[in-house]
Homo-oligomer: A and B are copies of this chain.
Amino acid sequence: MQSLVYDLPMSRRTALHGPRCPITFALDIFGDKWSLIILRDMVFKGKRHYREFLASAEKISTNILASRLKRLEAEGLISKARDTKNQSKFVYSLTGKGEALLPVMLELIRWSAKYDPQTGISDNIVNGAPAQLLERLDEDRDALIEEILRG
C-alpha cells in the first residue's frame, strides 16, 4: 500500500499514536540510509542540483534519490525551484528546518572523529573531520554553525 503523502510505501511508526517520541519522529523523516547523505552534500559541499547528488561517492541510485528529494521536500527540509540561470535545471535548497539539522550532523562528525581510526586525515570538512573543525565545535560552536550555513 502506497502512502498518500509520499510516493514511498514507508510506514510511519508514530502515525496515529499519542505523545510521540522525538527520536522516532526524526528517524521517520530522515532516518534511512540516504537522506542524511543528501543533506550532508547540501550543507557541507554546497550541492544544489540533482546530478551533483548522483555523483556522490556513496553512489545513490537515481530512483532512490528522486524519492528522497521528494520526501525531504514534502517534510519541509528542502525546497525545489527552477534555476534562474538555466530554466531547464532545478535548484534544491535547504529550508530552516533542514539547516537546523546541522547540529545533529556536527555531533555525528564529532563522534566519528573520536571512534573512526580513519577519520581526521583529510583537510576536507566531510571526508575526514579536521581537528580544526572539532576545536571550533568545542569553543565556538554557534559561530561555526553560522559560518557553515552562510559560507
Using a CB–CB cutoff of 8 Å, the interface residues on chain A facing chain B are 13, 17-27, 31-33, 36-37, 40, 57-59, 76, 97, 100-101, 103-116, 118-119, 121-122, 124, 126-129
Q: Is the CB of B100 within 8 A of A23?
A: no
Given A107-B104, A111-B101, CB of A31 within 8 Å of CB of B23: no
Number of copies: 2
In whole angstroms, what is the CA distance A13 to B107 when docked?
Answer: 21
Q: Is the CB of B127 within 8 A of A115?
A: no
Given A108-B26, A111-B100, CB of A20 within 8 Å of CB of B124: no
The residue in chain B whose Cβ has the minimal distance to the Cβ of A122 is B19
The residue in chain B whose Cβ has the minimal distance to the Cβ of A31 is B33
Which chain B positions have C-beta within 8 A of A17? 57
In whole angstroms, what is the CA distance A115 to B58 when docked?
Answer: 29
Given A32-B33, A105-B23, CB of A97 within 8 Å of CB of B110: no
Q: Is the CB of B20 within 8 A of A116?
A: yes
Beyond A19-B119, A24-B37, A103-B111, 6 extra complex contacts between A and B, CB < 8 Å: A19-B118, A20-B128, A21-B126, A23-B109, A25-B118, A26-B108
